[in-house]
Structure formats: C-alpha cells, structure tokens
Chain A
Amino acid sequence: MTTTAETMPYAEAIAAFEPVLGLETHVELGTASKMFCSCPTAFGADPNTQVCPVCLGLPGSMPVVNRMGVESTIRMGLALNCSIAEWCRFARKNYFYPDMPKDYQISQYDEPLCFDGWLDVTVETDDGPRAFRVEIERVHMEEDTGKLTHAGGATGRIHGADYSLVDYNRAGIPLIEIVTKPIVGTGELAPLVARAYVTELRDLMRSLGVSDVRMEEGSLRCDVNVSLNRAGDDWGTRSETKNVNSLRSVERAVRSEIERQAAVLSSGGRVIQETRHFHEDTGRSTPGRSKEQAEDYRYFPEPDLVPVAPSREWVEELRGTLPELPSAKRARLRAEWGISDHDFQTLVNGGALELVEATIAEGVDPAAARKWWTGELARIANDREIELADVPVSPGQIKHIQRLIEDGSLTDKLARQVIEGIIAGEGDVDDVVAGRGLAVVSDDSALLAAIDQALVDQPDVAEKIRGGKVQAAGAIVGAVMKATRGQADAAKVRALLFERLGVSE
C-alpha cells in the first residue's frame, strides 16, 4: 500500500468524515476460583502453580461453571440495563493457539447471557458536559488464555522471537465480554466518548464488586472498531484495533484510527477490514491479519456444559443486590458537595470522584480533599501516565498528611515531599517524615539563630528593614528557609524577624 500522507490532522478528518465506533471490552472477574475449575486466580503467582487438569486442557478433564461467574455477569447485565436470557448455552470457539490449552475457548456465541442494554456517559465539551447513550449489544461469559513470554530475539516481542514460554495460571480466569452496538453521532467527540464509556464500565464493575479492574495487570482489554463515512453515505468498512489496555489508549486508538482512515479515504484509497494492533509506546496501530485470511471459528454449543436458564426469581434476587450505581452516586454527590457542573465533571473525568469521596469519608474537609486529588496527585498521575486510582497513595494517608498540615507539623511544600516519599516506597507518612527529617522547624530558638545569622550575612538588607522597607524582608526569610532546608513556616519566620528588629509590618 502506497501512502501519500499516513494520517490526516484530526480536525480535518472530522470535518470530512463521520466516525462510527464499536467497543468490545474484556474484563477479568474478581472471583476466587477460575471459571470452569477450582484453581485460584491470584495475580502474580509463580508460573504454572495455579493450574489443574481442567485449565491445562488435559485429556479427559471437564469444565464446571463457577456460579459466581454467572452471577457477576447477570449483575453486570442488569447494571447495563440488559435483558437477561431465559435460556442460553456456552459455545466453543475453535482456533489453535499455544496459550489456549484446549485449542478452543469456552465462550458464548449466538446466545449471550445478557443482551440489549445501554449505558449513559458524559463527556466534557467547551459548551459544558454532554451526555451520550451507548447501546449495549451483549454481555457474555468466557475464559481467559494463558500468558506468553517471547524469548530470544532482541525485543521480547512476538516478532523475531526464537521461541515462547507459556504460563497457564491465567488460563481459565473468568472473563466478561461487553459489546456495544455501533455508536454513531459522536462527531469530533468520538475519542472522548470511547474513553468515557470504558471509564464508566470500569467504575460500574468496581461499584458492583465484580472486578477490581486492575488495568496495570491487564485485567481490562479493549478491542476498538472504527469506521468512517462521509455525511449521508452508508457506513464505511471498519477496522478492529486490538490490545487497547488503558483508558488513555482507548482515546488515542480511536483518534489515531480516525486520522489514519481519513488519510486513506481522502487519497482515494479503500479501508480494508482488518485487525490492527495498538502499541502503547507510539500511540499508533499496525496492521495484523486481514479478514480475508481470518480464522473460521467453527462455533458450536459446548457439549460438556449444560444450558444456563436463570429463573426470573434468581434474576430479581440479583437485581436486589445492585448497589447505588456510579451515575446515581454522582448525582447525589454533586448535590451534596454543591460544586459547579464543571468542577464536578473535572473530578469525574480525572477519575477522582471515588477517591475524593473516600477521603472525605476519612474526615478530610471536602475542599482540601478535592484539592489533593485534582492537584498534586492528578499531576503525579499525569506525569507517570497512570490512572489516578493507581497512584499508590490512599485516602487514609491523605487524611494523615492533612492533619499534620493543620497542626502545623507540615507545610504544603513538605507535604508534597511526604507524598513523593510514599510513592518512592519509603513507607507510610510517619516513616517518610522521620526518614527525610521533614518536620517543620518550629523551635523558635533555632529559627532565631538562623535569622540572626542571615542578618549578619546581609547587613545592608537588615538596615533597609530597620529603616521601614518591609518588602526587603523577603531576602532574609529566603535565607532562613534555605538554611532550614525549607522546613520552616515562612510566615512564622517573617513574624519572628520583625519582632527581632522591632519593626511592625
């Protein structure tokens, strides 16, 4: 394929084409045991220590469905306003791959457990928040594959590897797959809608307690479908971008695919139906296999498992266990906190809502709680390109730090150093304060000694202050702060200085 321009600038692309999105999201459920066997699901265990004949696909072994997997899926379906099937079956999806012990995946095919739902999401625009309803096609249950490590070659990537190693601990971990109907009418907001949708799914699953959704452990994975068409035309050919494993990547993947397809189409080319692979490092995707050589999965009903026919009583019982859902909670909190739509949306978009709520619940003043999570901690998350929730500082630690500020033991600046220390793994708040010697120097004699020294070092400045030029005091205060390595309260130093010189401010 020859290319004139690889991509078209986003604004131009959106001016010329309308995007249609589709998202398929896989999330590992937080069950204690696997979907079809009793092996534990703990993350990070030694390779091949959480396996049995069933999840290794040993000849003769047979699957048995984890009730919790079914219940979690139904609860998620209910939270997504889905209908719950009265009767459905598992199906085998047949294809050969060494990370798949049976060379088929037990999944669902034309009879998903949940179908026809919707999820409302909100994105921030220049004209204020805008709501979109994302329609849900289906929610179904399936099993995860093992984990491949590529050895030899230079990069540790699949390409150029000499061989691979397989750990089946992950094989058989329950997955829930959530598939949207085509999402239309988002225009330039497409990348933000995609991100807001996945964020909302994540929050929903966390609030339902069906999954922790640990994104850094790869427990949420998205396939992003994108097509473009000119206004009034039929939908275009779609590509499917795989491996999109973070909220930020979802947004970037949609954006970059719009830019790429727009370039192809506007140069008279044809978008081919293909699977593309997203690369976190570059934010771009590369082509994988095209549909022309696609696998034929030969789905058929799984004969080793019997149908699932959830009684309506069971479904209603599960509906009764649904907690306050994130959207309802947001409405409540916005009212309780009494902040503007814009500020509230900033909290939501930054993933700070739950954290602020938890911090307030710890007893921190609401304004201070919001300031921490949208200020310093948001900056850290941004710098490190991680989710706010994944910054390793807890609401309890914030409460602790805030209390130290309030009683004068820490300044804001010192508090930021404490956070730095916690993230660097230097321990809890007290450990960092002690380890780094961060307590505010509040001992007057020590401060006075430093002030006297500064006055001696800068006699001309001292003279100016005595002469009534109070604005010159900054030089002395600065010197004292430097001498105490920033551990003094500047306001206090200033007061002591004037007192010392017998000058009033």
Chain B
Amino acid sequence: MTAITRAEVEHLARLARLQLTDDELDHYAGQLDVILQSVARVSEVAAEDIPPTSHPIPVQNVFRDDVARPGLDRSAVAAGAPAWEDDRFRVPRILDEE
C-alpha cells in the first residue's frame, strides 16, 4: 500500500466534513499511515473463494406490516433542534446545486 499523503488526508476530511486544522492534518497524515499500514495485513489472507461476512448472525427477511402509527409530537421534534423556524429545521444556506 502506498503511503497516505497530506493531500489525501485533506480530501478525506472534506468527504467526512471535518474542518481539520493544519496541525491536525500533519498529525493525522502520519498516524493514518501507520494505522493503515498495520490494518493492510488483511490483504495477506488469500481469500479469493471466501464469501464476505456483513452480518454476524445469518438472519434474513425481517419485515414489518404496513401499518401507520403516529410519530413524535412536533414539540418534541423541535426541542432538540439547533435552529427552528416556521415549524421546520432551519439550516444554513446550501451552496451547491440539488
């Protein structure tokens, strides 16, 4: 595996919505590299014919019936909101296109 660059760390931070400081970027670039080198061990396992496990217990087909039930009171919904206006969550302006 190739070493992780500072630019890559910056890209990851953007994807993950983390406004890292310059110090953090430097710090993480080093640490992520060490960690990723270490976890890259998984590739040592020859696992061509091994199926991946996404769920530890093999349960399938779990459904609920299509019955509507009332949810939360709006006052409870609003109570946790950082900003609330006109019965809606208020959020900062969205720059990019929908």
Contact = CB atoms under 8 A, between A and B. Distances in A.
- Direct A/B contact, Cβ within 8 angstroms: yes
Interface of A: 31-33, 37-41, 46-53, 55-56, 58, 64-70, 87, 89, 96, 98, 148-152, 158, 161-168, 242-243, 275, 277, 288-289, 295-296, 298, 300-301, 303, 305-310
B97 A158 contact: yes
B77 interface: yes
8 contacts: A38-B64, A38-B67, A64-B62, A67-B64, A87-B60, A167-B88, A168-B89, A303-B55
A358 to B, nearest CB: 27
Nearest to A286: B97
Contact of A306 (B61, B66, B67, B98): B61
Contacts of A40: 68-70
A373 to B, nearest CB: 34
Given A56-B77, A166-B90, A307-B60, 19 more contacts: A33-B67, A38-B67, A38-B71, A40-B69, A49-B71, A66-B63, A66-B66, A67-B66, A68-B65, A150-B93, A158-B94, A164-B90, A165-B88, A165-B91, A242-B98, A296-B15, A300-B54, A306-B61, A307-B55
B62 A65 contact: yes
B98 A243 contact: yes
Nearest to B53: A301
A347 to B, nearest CB: 34
Given A39-B71, A161-B94, A164-B93, A306 B65 contact: no
Contacts of A298: 15
Contacts of A56: 72, 77
Interface residues of B, number: 35
A48 B87 contact: yes
Contacts of A98: 89, 91, 94
B87 A32 contact: no
A285 to B, nearest CB: 11
Given A89-B54, A167-B88, A309-B60, A52 B94 contact: no
Given A53-B72, A158-B98, A296-B15, A32 B67 contact: yes
Contacts of A87: 60
Interface in B44-98: 54-55, 59-72, 74, 77-78, 80, 85-94, 96-98
Nearest to A49: B74
B90 A64 contact: no
B63 A165 contact: no
Interface of B: 15, 17, 54-55, 59-72, 74, 77-78, 80, 85-94, 96-98
Nearest to B98: A158
A306 B68 contact: no
A277 B97 contact: yes
A33 B60 contact: no
Contact of B62 (A96, A162, A306): A306
A303 B71 CA distance: 24
Contacts of B17: 96
B77 A48 contact: yes
Contacts of A309: 60-61
B87 A46 contact: yes
B60 to A, nearest CB: 5
A303 B63 contact: no
Given A64-B62, A303-B54, A51 B77 contact: yes
A55 to B, nearest CB: 7
Contact of A67 (B65, B68, B93): B65
Contact of B91 (A164, A288, A300, A310): A164
Given A96-B17, A166-B88, A307-B55, A51 B63 contact: no
A202 B96 CA distance: 31
Nearest to A94: B15
Nearest to A301: B54
A49 to B, nearest CB: 6
Given A38-B69, A53-B72, A277 B54 contact: no
B97 A65 contact: no
A163 B66 contact: no
B60 A308 contact: yes
B94 A306 contact: no
Given A47-B88, A64-B63, A289 B97 contact: yes
A243 to B, nearest CB: 7
